[in-house]
Structure 1
């Protein structure tokens, strides 16, 4: 009697006989059973051997089966189930790839498929999905590499993550894994886990696996194409109808919003959505640690489940469920299991988008709840909803047009005035400085030659041209010219143009601008404050300091407002400071003047932001608001044991850095008050003269009485007013800086020395005024005694 071994040997030596025997006795029964709905496998190994012989016929049957199934998940389930059988895997799974908020992730779609498992048990409910980012695990790695892999031992793979195993209690030993691709895009990942009867999948298994991935790819791409066609259809309808309705009503924002939102309701893949309308008349409450608090005056709520209903909620409370801060994140992390209102509605997933107008201001919030199929909103949903909210934002176009035209007119007036008064530095002027480098092969004068590194520096004996060269030298001393590839000609032209940008007025002229830039440079270098800032930040701070009062008109913000100047109409607050800032940014727009031209985009944006911080900080009204915050920083660093802790405390917190930066600008702007007395006394007279000139304008042009500080008739009171200015405004900033860094103490000492001089002069003035008053009283008393009871009246004259 023949045994098993002899039969196997005979069949191997007679393959034609084996094929004919199989076709006759086995093939029809096995293939039919393999692709029936009620398929049971008794001997997987034997089926695998059969599949190798009759693979062409199996594939043919599989293709027929694929085209008769219309639901993607069912068709994919059948393919993966046969794949699992063919490679003799313990189980297989299918992960879909999707993106939300621009971040890719993988989620279980068909999970733990075996040759005998039912579709219903393998299909993952959206609420029970296992979701993980693409930078986690081997599956995430395949999403990035987009190449199949055979992992014989997952424990030896450094990318393996036990995240899914811990969720399911299953132990993964080895795996076959392949991405489902559509062009260069990943649609999903299929995994086969734990080879049965072996410690790893073979090369033959890999070949079989890849062949069946072709069928899975066809199914996935077919579904993806159909889905994207539906998405584009919905997008086009949303765009068409929202555009139509937005421009039907151009007078009432609320009606515009409602028309557009109600018309497109059938194309929005959600069960409910609402729009919160922002009250633009209420001021936003800002803090340094929290986002601004938005005030909504109305919520329009659209309910699409069962019977359609629209609810309008006027003046909603701040804690209304539709306006909860961070609602999408809260729902994603914690779920919102309780009912939100009397309809019994429960939030499962959320998509929230701002409605932004042309000014980049948020005018409302559109929130969409619960996608109709129960799955989370994906990237395509985001794009459709974003298109809708963009059209809603454009609804503000009509009401903004008039204001925008006015602003353009005011900007034109200012630009014309600037162009008439200012011109860019000429080639001859640039060569005056460039010859120092090109002709004589030397850099501008060393900073030590004109005391650039000293707090007692005085510009009075220095010529305007030498000041320009000194300003250029500051940038060389900071070592930013070579590091940020600043062309010598551009730097020279910029510095010369900044000098010409200052008007020839009594005090706020180029010399004042240079003094502020030099003081900023000295605070960074001599004052040792540079350790808190990067080279780029130091570069921007010194440049902003030089530009801080460019094109100053010799009058303050209050005068601009009273006179109704174009500047006052253009800028609501910090009028002159915003003009100086805009002027400095205008220089950046000209490549021939842009000293930041070789910076990267992110670096250039940082420079512009620092210009905002520095130049706006010279408004003394803002200085008083930040004094307490600066004092807290100084108090905190004073108690720290070492320098490293102090640097970390400041450098790691952008808010603290900007507060110190703002205080530095104030200290630089007022630095004339700390100079040696022979310098300070002269500069104080320049400042007073400019104030008196403004007072004269207020009398003649505005027909108003100026305040004492601006009144030329009260010039004898200058020492007294200087003492008040020092005590009320200046003393704080220099006292705190001397506490913060002892290297800055010379400025505080200079301030106190000048205060003593002004106090001495004020006392002399007071004594003089007292003597005059006493003499006047004596004369009055003598006159009264002389005249007796019939003396002259103090209030009347008898003619």
Structure 2
């Protein structure tokens, strides 16, 4: 190029380029006089350089009009190679050589090559296949007689040995691996330096003292490196010619280099495609795993088999084992330790297409060994993945199992399973079917191990829940046996029968202490039959239900069976005396709710349950005991022969249970205050409507409170006896609070008995009288309750005043 430009510049300056482009003639007038008069032999390169630097337009026009495209391409490739050798120059120029080479690759055959590579990507988009197609294209483009393609070791990229590639295959159709000796071969040199090499037999090159190995009739070689998109070596292409074909020239090297640009792009897209395809397959596999594991979670053993089966398929292993960590004994254990997929011989009669796989499991006995023992024990202790390529060459490998079973372990991939940062197990894959376990196997299995951890964690929880459920069922059976009425009690009640008439039971002032406990159940049956009859209810169910309710009240001082019966009796009286105020199902919920409203009461209030973090408080954060009472009621109804609502229609049954829950929860005094406030507003505004469901629910709630507090509306002797047992229960709670380090309130402090009268005055004034006042307003027939409550209040006030006067005197 330089000599051509020199002649062109001189000739233009002397006016001798008449046949050249007219554009170039215009530069003669501007050419230096010295160049016009000097003979060509005296013109120096520096002068030509100065001229071209000062006249860049001339240089550009010359190249565009006079230089062939292929020659221009070769120049660009040479420039790119020089920049590649001098990275600091490329950095200053700010140009990416690969992009420059891409722009100027215009060889005529490259279009067809692109079509071939595109077709190859569509049919078999693997890196090896793309390299094979590319090598064929380059071989044809430079008229080589043949080629060898050496693939870099993908598992050990730092290993500079290369493997003989695609055209040489083994019996399984896989590339035959042939290592190249270090420092003597041309391909190895290219892999080290990434520089192209042209060499002919007989050439004296100090880099290759042995020259071209005596390999058939190969006389000339051209060797070039092909890089991956990430900058790693992908392969080395060695082109060769026979003696009579002549050596490779610089032009051949340039053509091959230009082709390699296309190959790099093809590799890039093949790499993207393979990564997306692998990720898709892995995602599909993991989705199938998750569905299978979490949909069919039956037992831990079944889950372990599934996990090992999936893991084995994921990495194409011959055997799989899963060991769980026993954190208490610091051991690994497994009840299922050897899973393999084999062909079922019974399914092979119809040809290979009909063969079905089955899982072979060894569950002969549990295996246990300390952490740190063997490969699995080491992984469990360190949490590191181990990929063993030769088990017998690894000192950590335990050969005992092989010796006992006759099985030969070659390769091992062992990985820990974590949950919440702790190792809960180890999965061990043995003997990959196709060679060694790869880095891709490790990466895929690491993702799979996350799902293994979640599945095992949930399986353990599932096992605990299942065992707890079975324990609950057993406990329920025991409780059902001990908390249900006995057959003897039932037979006695059946023999006595339900009385036809009981005088005075419907009196608001009926004395519950006058009736023996067993007869209270008979009285409860009588009141039920008197209110609802036996048309829709079974007499035997009613007897069993009443006797079992009696048995499920605890023997505490106040909230016992006597209290439950007393509240039911008060509700019975309220319903009897206020005929028409409540509907049938409301009456049913009110009466049964009153009878069961304190089932299994422990003699402690809700505040105590919350402060002591009782299990009931953990289940029910509000109205703790009241929710428990309702659930106990439902439990009794569910026992065989106890469902007194069995003959109700589905809609009635649902309505009664809903009302029953509402009524029992209403006995929480914390709910009384908002209920009374709402009713007071309705009454004061004359807005209460008997047809409004919400208004009726408020009335039901206040009616339950009135019945629950009915001891305050009993005659004085009954009132005093009730207050005595109430305070005994209060004092027991106060004692429990004192034992736990808390100070009980004065009302619950047995060391302050003088507080009884004052507390009763406050209780009757703040709760009882307001309750009966609103009840009397809406149900006038309840006036006796208000009257007796007020009388009792006056007597408690008198007692309280006397105590205060006595204290003042002292």
Report which structure shows greater RCO (CA 8 Å, sep ≥6).
Answer: 1
Q: TM-score range by the shorter chain?
A: 0.3 to 0.5
- Normalised TM-score (structure 2): 0.42
Q: Which has the larger radius of gyration?
A: 2
